[in-house]
Amino acid sequence: MEDAVTTDATCPLNNNGTATASGTGGTPPYTYLWSDAQNTQTAVGLSAGTYTVTITDANMCSYTTTASVSNSLSGPVHNLNSGLNYCSIQVAVNAATNGDVITIDPGTYDEQVVVNKELTIKSATPTQAVVNFTGTASGKPSLFDVTANNVTIENLNMNVDLSKLRSAIIASSAGLDAITVKDNTIGAYGTPAGSYGDRNAVSVNYGGTTNYRVATGGVNSVTFTGNTVSGTGPGSYFRSGIALDEGGLTTTGNTLTTINHDVLLRFAETVQTISITIP
């Protein structure tokens, strides 16, 4: 009998490692029984760890061996400046420094992300990475909680469960400025909970029912371009595509399907361009 051959799991929680055992020296056919109850020659969907396999030939002679699945050094979230790879968006943000670019491979990321550094966060390829949080929400009720200046969120597919969250992005802090949201797909689903006034796909310094209007002197520059905002019928839609208080706003090339405020701008400092496509 031969020992098993493995492929690494790309991240501890991805469960995509494999282990393959080969029966030799006995009488075929061989059967395989893994410690996680899989009974094929190749065990799939494995996280990092050690697995036992029992190989039995046609004469009922058995041999038991182990296979260790490791974590790959590669991960689906990349910091282009440091060259390092990570298993989640939040871990990549935590390790980043101001000015870094973080790219995300295609796939679904089940997380809320706090962005407290000056970063660009975007899909690694034209295929949009999906951010869809399904757990118990904490902090601000959004997928991305932005508290830093000079943040760009680009080319992501953000799915917002309105029974848990209110927004895809909430940007709110005392010194907020230069926020860019571009080329994203933002969708709402689920039975809405909480205040209707907070249900904005993107909320920047907005003093709604829950007051996030805390930027000292307002927000000089907010760019909202090329985004598609939609929902699922009959009631799972956002109140607005973007809601901004005390800000300078550029919004062009968006396709917005909302309940009654595609673009909600109050107490504006400067308005450069507003262009709305009605589907």
Q: CA nearest 250: which of 263, 260, 240?
A: 263
User: What's residue 12's pLDDT?
Assistant: 59
Based on the number of CB atoms within 10 Å of its own CB, is 116 exposed (0-12), middle (13-18) or buried (19 or more)? middle
Q: Report d(CA 133, CA 109) in Å as an integer.
A: 7
Check residue 162 and report its DSSP letter: T
| pLDDT given at position 80 | 95
Helix (H) or strand (E) holding 89: helix 89-95
In DSSP terms, 146 is beta-bridged to 115, 171
Residues 6+ apart with CB under 8 A from 64: 52, 53, 54, 55
pLDDT at 5: 78
Per-residue pLDDT, 162: 97
Whole-model pTM?
0.77
Sign of CA dihedral 52, 55, 60, 63: negative
pLDDT at 46: 87
The predicted pLDDT at position 209 comes to: 81
Unique residue bearing structure tokens 């107490």? 267
User: Which amino acid does the sequence have at 93?
Assistant: V
Q: Provide block-wise average pLDDT over 10 residues at a time, the chain (279 residues).
A: 68 76 90 95 89 94 90 83 91 96 96 98 98 96 98 99 97 94 98 92 89 86 95 90 91 92 81 57
State how beta strands 247-256 and 228-230 pair.
parallel
What pLDDT was estimated at residue 24?
Answer: 85
Distance CA(48)–CA(72), nearest Å, equals 9
116: left (phi > 0), else alpha (psi -120 to 50), else beta?
Answer: alpha
Measured between alpha carbons, how far is 89 from 118 in angstroms, rounded to an integer? 14
Q: What is the C-alpha separation between 49 and 189, in angstroms, rounded?
A: 36
Cβ atoms of residues 107 and 133 within 8 Å = no
| Residue 152 C-alpha from the chain's centroid | 14
Residue 155 has a pLDDT of 99
CA distances from residue 244 to 155, 236, 256 in whole angstroms, order as listed: 21, 21, 16
